[in-house]
Structure 1
Amino acid sequence: MADEFLTNSKFYFEIDGITDLLVKKISGPQISMDVAGGDAPIGCTKGGVSQTQATIGGVKYNSAITLTFVAGNEAAQKKLEDWYIKCHSEAFSGGKIEARTSRKTGSLTIYDGDGKEMRFDFIDLFPGTLKQIGTLGGDQSGQVAEDTLELKFTKVVRKQ
């Protein structure tokens, strides 16, 4: 069942108050486990058979997802940009920010081929890096203008 979600699926991503964003791609979060030991034998048994042991040496993860979305939906993009500005001070003037009080919740819903849903809720979303494309050059004709937004979160919960 899980393989079906990954191989043939459609998805929808929403953030509190921003439900009409045309998302092309979502990437992250990434989790990896480091293994300690396992490379060298820890001893030998009868017949000269060596034994190894591997244990988890640590877990590395990043609590971020990156949205790639189609530029041109001014209403949704304006909401994202306003939220980003509210959470980040200006480079030269600094000033008050509302980063702690402007956290949001986001939901990623994945639909399998039969329309069944798998949903993940991202708690305490915070805009990290926003990359907006100005214009497409002549060598990029036929391409869609895309913006990217990195979102940090503190918790992810699988709902379905």
Structure 2
Amino acid sequence: MPGEYVVASVFYFEADGMTDKFVQSVAGMGAKNNTTKTIRGSGKNGKILRQNLPGQAEFNNVTVTVTYNGEEDLHKWYLACSQDGKARQWNENRKNFSVVGYSQDKSTEIIRYDFKGCFPESYTGPEFDITKNDPATEKIEVSIESYEIKAKKKDVK
């Protein structure tokens, strides 16, 4: 029997040098194995030989939405990697980041996604709209080089 279910709203995001963010959402975590779909040829009596093989793995971009509070670290990270008119230093500014899901008591780590070698592909600043009551947010879409999932197993009695 599995352990406690993870509630989608009990999580934390942290990146190298960026902590204590109030994160609204983290979306897009996943991977895909791009398969080759090849017809090898036609044989006796017109029989076609098909063979699908695993191709290159591809990691989804992850989009992190945080409540905007005037800090500039997400935007500065994007600029360090992508600013026009200056030498782009995306490789030197790669960061590792983690998304952690907690138990319902908010004290026990249940699952951890550790993302490696990441850099921002896009940044979206706050949207100001007089008709909305929601907090202003900023988003950063991050390219992922690799990741690991570390599930914490609870003792079941």
Structures share a fold, TM > 0.5? yes
| Alignment of structure 1 residues 1-160 onto 2, 5 Å | 1=2, 4-5=5-6, 7=7, 10-31=10-31, 61-71=58-68, 73-75=69-71, 78-90=72-84, 94-114=85-105, 115-117=107-109, 118-136=111-129, 138-140=130-132, 142-160=133-151
TM-score, length of structure 2 as denominator length = 0.71
* Runs of 5+ consecutive residues of structure 1 not aligned to the other structure: 36-54
Q: Deviations over 1:105-155 (max 9, x none)?
A: 10111102243311111001101110112522x222x22211111011111
* Count of paired positions: 134
- Structure 2 CA distance, aligned partners of 1:148 and 1:121? 19
RMSD: 2.8
Identity %: 25
- Structure 1 CA distance, aligned partners of 2:11 and 2:62? 14
Q: Which residue of 1 aligns with 2:47?
A: none
TM-score, length of structure 1 as denominator length = 0.70
Structure 1 residues 2 and 146 mapped into 2: Cα distance closer, same or farther (>3 Å)? farther
- Structure 2 CA distance, aligned partners of 1:68 and 1:95? 27
How much does 1:32 deviate? Answer: 5.6
- Structure 2 CA distance, aligned partners of 1:13 and 1:105? 11
**Bigger fraction of residues in helix:** 1
How much does 1:2 deviate? Answer: 6.4
- Structure 2 CA distance, aligned partners of 1:2 and 1:56? 37
Letter in 2 for 1:64: N
**Contact 2:31 2:60 survives alignment (8 Å):** no
- Structure 2 CA distance, aligned partners of 1:89 and 1:152? 16
1:124 partner SS: strand
* Runs of 5+ consecutive residues of structure 2 not aligned to the other structure: 36-50, 152-157
